[in-house]
Amino acid sequence: MKDFAGKTGQSLFFVLAGVARLWDLGTAVIGYAFTSLFQKKIVPRDTLFHQMVQIGIDSTGIVSLVGASVGTVLALQAAYSLKTFGALMYTGSLVCVAMARELGPLIAAIVISGRIGARMAAEIGTMMVQEEVDALTTMGINPIRYLVAPRAIALALMLPCLTVIVDVVGMVGGWAIGVTGLGINSTLYIAKSVEALCLKDIYTGLLKSFIFSILIALVSCHQGLSVSGGADAVGKATTQAVVISIVLIIVVDCLATAVIYYALPT
């Protein structure tokens, strides 16, 4: 019993300590992001634009493929159940609302977590192993301002854009399978989809994607900055960054959905 209590207390301590470190990192990044609005040299613009290209443009293909696949599968699964109740024409409504509310932000965040979050942790972790971060500190350059802030800002700007792409592509995929595979009239499918979709579904999905982007950036950069040792430590930090990010994304999505759809008006 004492061992169980000790391990539980130790785990809780590590969790709270990690939350505190993420909070400190997040407040520092927010401070640099706000200051950069008035002083251009605070956050390196070249690094920021380079990260935006890698996060946004280079990730468009993979998130579009995943979004189209999910929209297609969702339409098929929805039609299977709706057909039983004679409500096949509402397939488009279900697909559009599900993509905008939940699946679009969730899919984009998970894909970016695996593709971009892992890269962030590996890049910064490698710099830690090679003592490049210490060299920046020696030169009087704050590593958070130079390394973390551009990545966090770029991710916060680009993930909502990728979420919009996933939403649209998923809806188009559902429309394609609904019209060609399920025999639903195209005009009817679009009309029911537009009728079911409201503005709240769209802006809450984008709000969630923004929150997810902050989580991914902070967790990934924190894991990278925590590396000490050799190549094994970099690999471990990269794996932990992806796993922790995905777990936090799912947990925060659950909490955000409960808060948004019970607290906010339609």
Segments in 130-198 forming alpha helices (H): 132-138, 143, 149-180, 186-196
- The mean pLDDT value for 123-144 works out to 85
pLDDT of residue 39: 73
Residues 6+ apart with CB under 8 A from 50: none
Reported as a single tens digit per residue, the pLDDT across 138-183 is: 887 888 888 888 999 999 999 999 999 999 999 999 899 888 888 8
Is 17 part of a structural domain of the chain? no
Structure tokens at 151: 């990545």
Per-residue model confidence (pLDDT) at position 46:
84
Specify if 122 maps to a domain: yes
- Residue 26: its pLDDT value, please? 79
Residue 256 within any structural domain of the chain: yes
Higher pLDDT, 40 or 46: 46
Of residues 121 and 136, more confidence is placed in 121
Token representation of residue 130: 């090679």
Query: Looking at the 3D structure of the chain, how many domains does it have?
Result: 1
- State whether residue 184 is helix, strand or coil: coil
214 falls in which pLDDT band (50, 70, 90)? very high
Query: Any idea what DSSP says for residue 141?
Result: -
Q: Are 22 and 219 in contact (CB under 8 A)?
A: yes
162 occurs within a structural domain: yes
Q: Is residue 69 part of a domain?
A: yes
Residue 208: pLDDT band (50, 70, 90) is very high
In a domain, 1, yes or no: no
The C-alpha angle with vertex 241 and arms to 3 and 48, in degrees rounded to 5, equals 150
Does the pLDDT of residue 2 top 60, yes or no? no
**Residue positions counted in the chain:** 266
Q: Is the pLDDT of residue 89 over 90?
A: no
Tell me, yes or no, whether 64 lies in a domain.
yes
- 238: containing domain: 44-263
pLDDT for the residue numbered 216: 93
Does this model's pTM top 0.85? yes
> Token match 């490698």: residue?
126
Instruction: Look at residue 185 and tell me if it is in a domain.
Output: yes
pLDDT digits (tens, 9 = 90+) for 227-266: 887 778 888 889 999 999 999 999 999 888 888 777 665 5
Give which of 117, 123, 115 is closest to 143, Cα–Cα.
123
Q: Which of 59-63, 107-111, 230-234, 239-243 is predicted least confidently?
A: 230-234
